[in-house]
Structure 1
Amino acid sequence: MYLSKVTPTDWKYEQTEPIASGHLDVSEGHKIFWVEYGKPDGEPVMCVHGGPGGGSDAFVARFFAPERYRILTFDQRGCGKSQPSASDDDARPALRANTTADLIEDMIKLRAHRGITGKMHLFGGSWGSTLSLAYAIAHPEQVSRLILRGIFLCRKKDLDFFYQGNAAVYEHDPLDTSLPGSYQIYPEAWDEFVRVIPPEERHDMIRAYDRLFSREPNNDAELQHQIRATQAWAGWEGRTSYLSLDASKPNHYEEVVFAKAFARIENHYFINGSFLGGTGEANRHQNYILDHVERLKGIPIHIVHGRYDMVCPMFQAEELVAALRQVGHTDVDYRRTPAGHSMLERENCQALTDILDHLPLPGSA
């Protein structure tokens, strides 16, 4: 059986031990957890995880030559080991003051805390590509290069492709494929995602899940239903992130602690248009990144995107590259891989490692 996920022998670099770690007080009661790997005086690179709400993983350091790079990872507000956590019974403190602007400010505070004063690389995939692009738009003078995977523009049409599909008509015609969407490729996983929501609410799945997550449970049955809903939300992404995943193993995305934080934070962002240029449900129609690509003209950009990515379909990368070229950006390295969404898809992993191995050394022509 073909499995697309990277195996231990596929990695070029071994897992290294952290050289430093800790929590950083940022604002509004949030403490973000960070870990540093690699060479203390190496080229600084800040790794920006996905989700939002996915948390960072130690294996991210394995993409980098440890004798060259200084690798800084962190858990964004509300997830991973950051405090408070959206996996807590009361998620409100973790979601309070949790916007894209807040995350960008956290990144600025973290680089200052770790003594990074010059430019740094940003390495991010999926939502990590979104936040990296938003950071670079806000502070282009601080970014040396963007190394991105699985471009995610967070517009309504991007979210509808993944979360809406044929949900509105699913009850009476689950095989209706008149609207495009990831459900067409993963019908069995889609069934579990859709059936959590009552048929009369399925015309807007993100809003329906928002109502469900925001509701105060009146009893244990309602609490358990809410938890199952977080597992359905997170599990849908976990099952669609790979071309071919070993179905005999547990889906990490459905682990309760992870699912609660991941689903609640993602939905909190998506119902607000990911807080890109605004807030509230009206902002779901934003086109913030493409509207501001001119601010990226001076930053070399490397993009890896799986041709068969069903979480962030490749049309988003195509649109970004076209917009960059339209404003005269001449330093874009765009690689389409025969892979799905995850950074742990074999071809994505190898392409990212190759890019990092061949970046020009600082000061070279």
Structure 2
Amino acid sequence: MDFSRLQASSKIGDDWVYPQPPCLNFGWLEVDTGPAHRIYWEEYGNPAGEPVMFLHGGPGGACAPVMARFFDPARYRVILFDQRGCGKSVPNVAAAGPAVALGKNTTADLIGDIVKLREHLEIAGRMHVFGGSWGSTLAMAYGIAHPEHIASLVLRGIFLGAAEDLEYLYQGNAATWEADPYGLTAPGAYIKYPEEWGELLSVLTPAERGDVMKSYKAIFDMVPANDEEKARQLQAALTWSLWEGVISNMIPETADTGKFGEADFALCFAQIEAHYFANELFIAPGHFFDHIGVLASIPLHIVHGRFDEVCPLTQASRLVAALREAGSEPASYIVTNAGHSAMERENALALTAVMDGLPAIAAG
């Protein structure tokens, strides 16, 4: 059979509205001591333009220059930075290990880092805050803490981080998988990605599958005593990373796993995610709904893929329903025919359209 005419990818490819802008400036900012943390940042676009603070996903996903392509480089001053423990920030989990790099690594710490980076880059007024997945979580947490800093929140792939959201992604039918790998015993992303789900569970024993996140966290926290344990730890990190990387795309990129299959990225991504997930994201349960009035006072734009299996659309639905109950409609709410990744074509184009249509930040 000839399958050559079938769509090979759902990614944005060559359909970006704006070209890749050059990096104007970069550096490291010391944000903490004992242990020391220095976050890496980059600046793109118009240095005199409206500031946009870009918050990457994960936690632990790090930034890449392509993330500056969502924005009109003539209009916006775009700030990318790697959150604590990942990317080019130091200490890095892959290089320094979790005992060092996960010290003082909480949501409150990340919010404080944004404040310090604003001050360092002399962003005095309001700014647009742009975040997807975990970046949407951090953006909302930052907005609640510092609404006076916000001109708009532009959010993709809403992640509320409730227990049910994490169980959908990481638990599913794991407890019964050994006996019935294709049994639909619970909701979960495994339903659409059974082979990748099998890879995720293959790292664990049947007993360990009773609590997948807890068991993976135990592997990551282990201090390897020999090469075999070290190899298992790396395999676990790569498998965790590849699971999320593959299912982020409506059409899985199985032939090219990109950064998710790279050891250093996977060690950061998997261990930082497990650290945050084991601690309820360092956010009090119900925090966003307890402060929905603050979020309702901010122009809030949402783009969410209908076929998102990492952060199902129900998470955006819960947030929008709470905003409406508080008497506020989102400034825009776009449900795309896409999956989770910001690099999915429909998501990328919708996000760019939102940014193009934002009212200019008023002077003063």
Aligned to 1:25: 30
Aligned to 1:273: 280
Normalising by structure 1, report the TM-score: 0.95
> Once the 2 structures are TM-superposed, how far is the Cα of residue 251 of structure 1 from its aligned partner?
4.0
Aligned to 1:104: 111
Aligned to 1:12: 17
Aligned to 1:289: 288
User: Residue by residue, what CA displacement relative to the aligned partner does 1:39-59 show, whole Å, maximum 9, x if unpaired?
Assistant: 111101100000000001111
In structure 1, C-alpha distance between the alignment counterparts of 2:344 and 2:67, rounded to whole Å: 13
> Once the 2 structures are TM-superposed, how far is the Cα of residue 178 of structure 1 from its aligned partner?
2.1
* Residue 132 (str. 1) matches residue 132 (str. 2): no
What secondary structure is seen at the aligned counterpart in 2 of 1:176? coil
Preserved CA contact (<8 Å) 1:126 1:151: yes
Aligned to 2:260: 253
- Which letter does structure 2 place at the counterpart of 1:17? P
In structure 2, C-alpha distance between the alignment counterparts of 1:89 and 1:110, rounded to whole Å: 23
* Residue 241 (str. 1) matches residue 248 (str. 2): yes
> Once the 2 structures are TM-superposed, how far is the Cα of residue 328 of structure 1 from its aligned partner?
1.4
Normalising by structure 2, report the TM-score: 0.96
331-340 or 343-352: which moved more? 331-340
Number of residue-to-residue matches in the alignment:
355
In structure 2, C-alpha distance between the alignment counterparts of 1:302 and 1:334, rounded to whole Å: 6
What secondary structure is seen at the aligned counterpart in 2 of 1:151? coil
Structural mapping, 1:53-64, within 5 Å? 53-64=60-71
> Once the 2 structures are TM-superposed, how far is the Cα of residue 293 of structure 1 from its aligned partner?
1.3
In structure 1, C-alpha distance between the alignment counterparts of 2:209 and 2:252, rounded to whole Å: 28
Runs of 4+ in 1 over 6 A off after TM superposition: none
Aligned to 2:3: none
Aligned to 1:327: 326
> Once the 2 structures are TM-superposed, how far is the Cα of residue 166 of structure 1 from its aligned partner?
0.4
Preserved CA contact (<8 Å) 2:320 2:329: no
> Once the 2 structures are TM-superposed, how far is the Cα of residue 89 of structure 1 from its aligned partner?
5.5
- Which letter does structure 2 place at the counterpart of 1:140? P
Aligned to 1:165: 172
- Which letter does structure 1 place at the counterpart of 2:299? P
What value does the CA root-mean-square deviation take over the aligned residues? 1.2
In structure 2, C-alpha distance between the alignment counterparts of 1:247 and 1:201, rounded to whole Å: 26
- Aligned counterpart in structure 2 of residue 225 of structure 1, from 232, 240, 251: 232
Preserved CA contact (<8 Å) 2:94 2:264: yes
> Once the 2 structures are TM-superposed, how far is the Cα of residue 254 of structure 1 from its aligned partner?
1.7
What secondary structure is seen at the aligned counterpart in 1 of 2:32? coil
> Once the 2 structures are TM-superposed, how far is the Cα of residue 331 of structure 1 from its aligned partner?
4.2
User: Residue by residue, what CA displacement relative to the aligned partner does 1:315-334 show, whole Å, maximum 9, x if unpaired?
Assistant: 00000000011111234311
User: Residue by residue, what CA displacement relative to the aligned partner does 1:262-311 show, whole Å, maximum 9, x if unpaired?
Assistant: 0000000000000003xxxxxxxx22222221111221010000000000
Structure 1 alignment gaps of length 5 or more: 278-285
What secondary structure is seen at the aligned counterpart in 2 of 1:267? helix
> Once the 2 structures are TM-superposed, how far is the Cα of residue 255 of structure 1 from its aligned partner?
0.8
Structure 2 alignment gaps of length 5 or more: 1-5
Aligned to 1:148: 155
> Once the 2 structures are TM-superposed, how far is the Cα of residue 249 of structure 1 from its aligned partner?
2.2
In structure 1, C-alpha distance between the alignment counterparts of 2:65 and 2:283, rounded to whole Å: 28
Aligned to 2:46: 39
